[in-house]
Amino acid sequence: MPSCVTTADRVQRIIVTNAKGGCGKSTLATNLAACLARAGTVSLFDYDPQGSSMHWLDVRDDARPSIHGVAAHRQPANGITRTFQLRTPPNTRYLVMDTPAGTGGTDLAQVVQNADALIIPVLPSPIDIHAAANFVRDLLLVGKARAYNVRIGVVANRVRKNTVMYQALRQFLQTLNMTFITALRDTQNYAKASHEGLGVHELKSPTAYIDCQQWEPLLRWLGGAASDFEPVQSAAQPVMGYRDGAAGRAVWKKISA
């Protein structure tokens, strides 16, 4: 859980959270960190004892835009204060925090008070929608998110469009008056990227431009122009950029129709 996160004012603190397990918190946190690292210095805090985000960072190639990682779930070593353990490089622009499943109760107040933006990944399934409803209610009632002026947005994850469950999720968000940021499709690209310590926008995959497109609304919601975060162009694969190629646009039109 976020505790004693002290940062300069200009740092944007982004927490990826949901009490429900397996909805994509670590996937979103790591992809976001990789994406933002192209625009400014990123610190990635992992509050989950599973350490998925730290493991991802361990396998990340040093040649990629670097990310400062903190295993925030660990107690500080002897003689080190919590504040020192959670320090960030002085030029940190983005602080991305991955949180464990089961976040609730009084932890929610800490989450809310340590965030500028909360991103809630939700899977389009009845169980996940029900759990998300409870989580959002707790964020508002227990965490008093509105009082702290924290921006909250939902990302539908592992989506197969035109399914009943996806429509149900959209309806549920409308009922709660929640901000729906974007939908990320269900694709092996995320597993591949995770395995290699990459974000999907860094993958050498002919279909990754579709995923980059789906990330654009999230980057815009966070306040950066999506163009600040151009995907990696590689000589071997010059048309990975989602801005390029009529073929890419045609596919995007198809899936977003």
Ligand X SMILES: Nc1ncnc2c1ncn2[C@@H]1O[C@H](COP(=O)(O)OP(=O)(O)OP(=O)(O)O)[C@@H](O)[C@H]1O
Site residues for ligand X per CB under 6 A: 21-27, 48, 50, 52, 101, 157-158, 184, 186-187, 190-191, 194
- Closest by alpha carbon to 96, among 34, 140, 21, 152? 34
The pair of three-digit structure tokens given for residue 85, joined into one six-digit string: 């353990």
Is 4 strand, coil or helix?
A: coil
Least Å distance, CB 48 to Mg ion, is 5
> Which residue's CB is nearer to Mg ion, number 25 or number 60?
25
- Closest by alpha carbon to 124, among 20, 257, 27? 20
Q: Interface with Mg ion includes 20 (CB under 5 A)?
A: no
> Which residue's CB is nearer to ligand X, number 40 or number 217?
217
Q: Interface with Mg ion includes 26 (CB under 5 A)?
A: yes
Pairing of strands 12-16, 92-98: parallel
Give me the 45-64 binding string for Mg ion, x by CB under 5 A, dash otherwise. -------x------------
> Which residue's CB is nearer to ligand X, number 99 or number 114?
99
- Residue from 13, 25, 93, 185 in contact with Mg ion (CB under 5 A): 25
Cα angle: 58, vertex 216, 257; to 5 degrees: 125
Residue 191: which of ligand X, Mg ion, none does it interact with, CB under 5 to 8 A by kind? ligand X
Residue 101: which of Mg ion, ligand X, none does it interact with, CB under 5 to 8 A by kind? ligand X
Pairing of strands 151-159, 179-185: parallel
Least Å distance, CB 55 to Mg ion, is 10
- Closest by alpha carbon to 178, among 220, 224, 147, 132? 132
Stretch that binds Mg ion, among 19-27, 107-115, 149-157, 208-216 (CB under 5 A): 19-27
Least Å distance, CB 42 to ligand X, is 18
**C-alpha–C-alpha distance, residues 181 and 252, integer Å:** 17
**C-alpha–C-alpha distance, residues 84 and 167, integer Å:** 46
Residue at shortest CB range from Mg ion = 26
